[in-house]
């Protein structure tokens, strides 16, 4: 039984100092108990109807070993975004790599560092926030991550403080040391009227089979704003489950982009609760997959208070036999009057064998709201391909142009120019690569 292997792994690491700090132990133990009770979700679970995690459950990944070699600046190159002054926090196989990280030059009122350091140095702060926004109750993977918390990133911005440059966190895996799992944990706390941008990249330094199980908790106090980018470009043999949970207070603004390109099987959960009046959330996403990749997104926006706005656009481009899943829930509480909610999911199937299961879900219990949702699935327009060819473009150039055009509005909405350009490049390279392949 594979559950047992996780439980054993837990006991082993707890016995061997992995339980530190002391105060966290009850939380971790609670989490592993939760995981034991829940098990891995099967497809009878409504939230996992279209995604089977059997390959992950079967593999019984133990904690990833440390990499044999220390990566160099050059190894990072393909994943770096923006100018060198952007603060950077690098992890390889779950271990912080100080030599490649630059966390200096941040203004006063900004704490950026590792979770391990924060747990040691600011235990009250961490205890107040860790495992509060991301619930282990119904989510096996969050429970598993919580049970195995060792390190990750903490970003804490004090009131009225603006972090000028986007902060780039790279969770990298070097799969040459063999199969294994990492459990990155990220904690973001923006106090009232603070502003920051955070990029989380998930990528492989060397391809292979591994499992990333990440959890990010975001707490946005009144009037704060976070621009968050998740860039998932894992090895195409890897498994990735990442959950971000946010709680937004009055007039806060959360702008989220989930970009997914890698993974044999990936699942991204982005959940937010609009828990104060005047909150604003944008959840955008773009997934571009080919081969036999399986990519799944589940989003949840809970309008718990009046006069909040949520805008969501997820787009998918699926080639070959790739399989996409989108499930977007918008839930409007009875008191959440004057809610403005828009949600769309659009998919482009590049091959007759590509497949998408899309399920936008709107549940409204207030009467004075403006909400729309919809999903589309289509192919490249033959007429448009012909139009391009009649102007001298090759079929491949026409296909690239039109596919790119399909994704354009999501890319254009990205507030950070360097991030947008980086993702544009990844998308272009994928198309060019697919064509040659």
CB of 348 to another protein, least distance (A): 11
Which residue lies nearer to another protein by CB, 54 or 432? 432
Which residue lies nearer to another protein by CB, 22 or 412? 412
CB of 418 to another protein, least distance (A): 19
Of 281-320, which residues contact another protein (CB under 8 A)? none
Residue of the chain from 11, 85, 381, 429 that contacts another protein (CB under 8 A): 381
Which residue lies nearer to another protein by CB, 61 or 314? 314
CA nearest neighbour of 191 among 152, 153, 162: 162
CB of 346 to another protein, least distance (A): 11
Q: How many residues form the binding site for another protein (CB under 8 A)?
A: 22
Q: What are phi and psi of 343, to 5 degrees?
A: -140, 130
Of 23-52, which residues contact another protein (CB under 8 A)? none
- The residue range among 31-39, 166-174, 255-263, 377-385 that interacts with another protein, by the rule CB under 8 A, is 377-385
In a 13 Å sphere around the CA of 97, the CA atoms on its Cβ side amount to: 24
Beta carbons of 326 and 292 less than 8 angstroms apart: no
Of 177-196, which residues contact another protein (CB under 8 A)? none
Calculate the alpha carbon distances from 160 to 155, 157, 192, 194, 225 in Å.
Answer: 15, 8, 6, 5, 10
Calculate the alpha carbon distances from 28 to 12, 19, 139 in Å.
Answer: 13, 8, 14
Which residue lies nearer to another protein by CB, 189 or 348? 348
CB of 413 to another protein, least distance (A): 12
Of 384-413, which residues contact another protein (CB under 8 A)? 384, 386-395, 397, 401-402, 404-409
CB of 386 to another protein, least distance (A): 6
CA nearest neighbour of 250 among 222, 230, 226: 222
How far apart are the C-alpha atoms of 206 and 80, rounded to whole Å?
16
Which residue lies nearer to another protein by CB, 364 or 401? 401
CB of 173 to another protein, least distance (A): 34
- The residue range among 57-65, 149-157, 372-380, 382-390 that interacts with another protein, by the rule CB under 8 A, is 382-390
How far apart are the C-alpha atoms of 331 and 365, rounded to whole Å?
8
In a 13 Å sphere around the CA of 395, the CA atoms on its Cβ side amount to: 4
CB of 423 to another protein, least distance (A): 15
Q: Does 54 participate in binding another protein (rule CB under 8 A)?
A: no
Which residue lies nearer to another protein by CB, 104 or 383? 383
Which residue lies nearer to another protein by CB, 270 or 388? 388
Which residue lies nearer to another protein by CB, 38 or 410? 410
Residues that bind another protein (CB under 8 A): 381, 383-384, 386-395, 397, 401-402, 404-409
């Amino acid at each position: 039984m594979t559950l047992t292997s996780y439980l054993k792994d837990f006991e082993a690491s707890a016995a061997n100092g992995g339980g530190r700090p002391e105060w966290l132990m009850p939380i971790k133990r609670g989490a592993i108990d939760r995981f034991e009770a829940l098990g891995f979700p099967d497809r009878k679970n409504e939230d996992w109807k279209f995604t089977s995690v059997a390959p992950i459950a079967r593999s019984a990944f133990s904690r990833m070993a440390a990499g044999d070699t220390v990566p160099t600046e050059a190894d990072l190159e393909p994943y770096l975004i923006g100018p060198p002054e952007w603060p950077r926090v690098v992890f390889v196989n779950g271990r912080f790599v100080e030599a490649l990280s630059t966390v200096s030059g941040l203004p006063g009122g900004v704490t950026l560092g590792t979770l391990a350091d924060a747990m040691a140095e600011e235990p009250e702060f961490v205890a107040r926030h860790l495992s509060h926004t991301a619930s282990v109750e119904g989510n096996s993977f969050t429970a598993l991550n919580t049970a195995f918390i060792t390190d990750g990133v903490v970003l804490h911005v004090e009131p009225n403080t603006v972090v000028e440059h986007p902060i780039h966190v790279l969770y990298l895996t070097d799969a040459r040391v063999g199969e294994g799992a990492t459990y990155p944990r990220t904690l973001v706390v923006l106090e009232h009227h603070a502003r920051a941008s955070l990029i989380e990249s998930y990528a492989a330094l060397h391809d292979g089979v591994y499992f990333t199980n990440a959890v990010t908790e975001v707490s946005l106090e009144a009037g704060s704003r976070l621009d968050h980018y998740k860039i998932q470009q894992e090895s195409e043999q890897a498994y990735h489950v990442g959950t971000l949970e946010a709680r937004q207070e009055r007039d806060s603004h959360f702008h989220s982009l989930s970009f997914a390109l890698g993974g044999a099987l990936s699942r991204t959960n982005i959940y937010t609760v609009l828990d104060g009046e005047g909150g604003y959330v944008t959840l955008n996403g773009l997934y571009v997959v080919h081969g036999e990749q399986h990519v799944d997104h589940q989003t949840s926006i809970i309008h718990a208070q009046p006069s909040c706005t949520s805008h969501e656009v997820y787009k998918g481009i699926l080639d070959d036999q790739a399989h996409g899943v989108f499930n977007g829930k918008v839930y409007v509480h009875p008191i959440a009057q004057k809610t403005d909610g828009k949600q769309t999911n659009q998919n482009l199937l590049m091959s007759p064998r590509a497949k998408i299961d899309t399920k936008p879900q709107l549940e409204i219990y207030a009467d004075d709201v403006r909400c729309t949702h919809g999903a589309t699935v289509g192919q490249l327009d033959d007429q448009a391909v012909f139009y391009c060819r009649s102007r001298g473009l090759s079929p491949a150039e026409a296909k690239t142009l039109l596919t790119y055009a399909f994704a354009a509005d999501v890319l254009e909405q990205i507030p950070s120019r360097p991030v947008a350009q980086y993702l544009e490049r990844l998308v272009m390279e994928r198309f060019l690569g697919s064509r040659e392949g």
